[in-house]
């Protein structure tokens, strides 16, 4: 694209692998416009959700280009690109895509003129759960629907009432590159760019190859096995009150002030993950990476959500984030008397490495140090 004009678009067709298709096609697209890779000012990839292989190849390619040529990146959600095409008059736009396993990736956006604002993090669930999720968040207002796979929702019994209210599912194009490019361009003009380190995938459901990393269970698997809709996302400043409340009701968790969460999230190497269950924050994890090592500093789950896989989901997501950043080992400390937590961490692949006597206060107690190796 140049400004808002699409100079060349090439769709992936046939059965060729993305890995062997993307680079020659990029060369072809540039050649058709008389431009070279060094002329590109901003790289705009789709960050997902979608094909795990396709997303990973796209992001890896763009990360390499960004590093090599010193250009910024504007990552764009595939669902937002779809939602931007919706022509209905609804105050809300719901976009969804087939996630297989009888599930859909879904997102809901609030219209404000031409702008679309996410109502909540993107979700993964059965089609009926997505319909209910949209109903509870759209305040009974008219919703415009768009998808490449309308039948995933329109065949559900609960869709009947929406159809009777005059709603329908608009068919999205499967060539999303121009829409993704336009959103990315606007973000670039607003200065909302990231770099190779900050670019991240919006998998919503992690791929099996990552979620079972060293035997660890995954966020996506937890979502699929329960009726609750769970998703792990990064911390946002307005999460502070929820994190503070959860931390205060978890005596085993380290005590942090409200401002500490915000400041920590801004530090280099920090990782703050938030777990949502049915749209409400149910737990969080704080970690820090230094070179090829990382540490879990705090992990807490709300009292109503314990022993339901929340802590496991948060750790699994953290392992993936650390592994993608070339971390080799993850460390943590646990009160010597907290045998339940020690057993839990051992099940997640941690091994005891030592004892720090007098590490904790109120009461005075030793800390069991533990390590999980992500690579051997």
Strands (E), 40-189: 42-43, 72-73, 92-100, 103-112, 115-118, 123-125, 143-147, 169-171
Phi, psi dihedrals of residue 304, rounded to the nearest 5°:
-80, -10
Q: How many residues does the chain have?
A: 376
Classify 34 in phi/psi space as left (phi over 0), alpha (psi -120 to 50) or beta: left
How far from 97 is each of 173, 209, 275, 308, CA to CA, in Å?
Answer: 12, 21, 22, 27
Q: Are 295 and 244 in contact (CB under 8 A)?
A: no
Q: Could you give the residue ranges of the DSSP H alpha helices within 234-376?
A: 240-248, 258-265, 310-324, 339-347
Q: Which residues contact 262 (CB under 8 A, 6 or more apart)?
A: 237, 240
Please identify every residue annotated as catalytic. Answer: 333, 345
Phi, psi dihedrals of residue 120, rounded to the nearest 5°:
-160, 175
Question: Tokens 């646990």 belong to which residue?
Answer: 334
- Specify the long-range contacts of residues 21-24, CB closer than 8 Å, at least 24 apart: 22/57, 22/58, 22/61, 23/61
> How many whole angstroms separate alpha carbon 124 and alpha carbon 248?
29
> How many whole angstroms separate alpha carbon 125 and alpha carbon 276?
13
């Amino acid at each position: 694209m140049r400004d808002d004009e699409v100079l060349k678009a090439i769709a992936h067709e046939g059965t060729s692998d993305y890995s062997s298709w993307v680079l020659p096609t990029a060369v072809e697209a540039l050649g058709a416009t008389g431009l070279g890779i060094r002329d590109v000012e901003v790289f705009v990839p789709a960050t997902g959700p979608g094909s795990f292989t396709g997303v990973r190849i796209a992001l890896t390619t763009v990360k390499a280009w960004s590093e090599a040529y010193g250009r910024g990146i504007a990552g764009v959600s595939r669902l937002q690109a779809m939602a931007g095409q919706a022509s209905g008059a609804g105050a809300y736009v719901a976009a969804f895509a087939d996630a297989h396993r009888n599930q859909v990736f879904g997102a809901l956006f609030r219209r404000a003129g031409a702008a679309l604002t996410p109502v909540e993090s993107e979700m993964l669930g059965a089609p009926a759960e997505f319909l209910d999720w949209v109903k509870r968040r759209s305040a009974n207002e008219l919703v415009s629907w768009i998808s490449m796979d309308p039948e995933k929702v329109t065949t559900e019994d609960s869709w009947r009432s929406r159809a009777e209210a005059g709603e329908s599912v608009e068919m999205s194009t499967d060539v999303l590159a121009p829409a993704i490019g336009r959103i990315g361009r606007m973000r670039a003009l607003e200065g909302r760019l990231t770099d190779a380190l900050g670019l991240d995938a919006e998998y919503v459901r992690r791929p099996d190859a990552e979620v079972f990393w060293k035997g660890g269970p995954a966020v996506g698997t937890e979502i699929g096995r329960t009726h609750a809709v769970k998703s792990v996302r990064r911390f946002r400043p307005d999460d502070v009150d929820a994190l503070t409340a959860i931390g205060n009701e978890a005596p085993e968790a380290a005590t942090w002030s409200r401002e500490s969460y915000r400041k920590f999230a801004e530090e280099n190497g920090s990782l703050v993950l938030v777990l949502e269950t049915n749209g409400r924050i149910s737990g969080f994890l704080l970690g820090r990476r230094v070179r090829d090592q990382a540490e879990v500093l705090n992990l807490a789950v709300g009292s109503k959500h314990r022993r339901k896989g929340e802590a496991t989901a948060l750790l699994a997501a953290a392992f993936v984030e650390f592994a993608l950043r070339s971390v080799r080992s993850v460390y943590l400390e646990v009160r010597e008397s907290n045998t339940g937590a020690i057993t839990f961490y051992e099940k997640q692949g941690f091994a005891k490495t030592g004892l720090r006597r007098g590490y904790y206060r109120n009461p005075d107690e030793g800390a069991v140090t533990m390590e999980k190796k992500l690579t051997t």
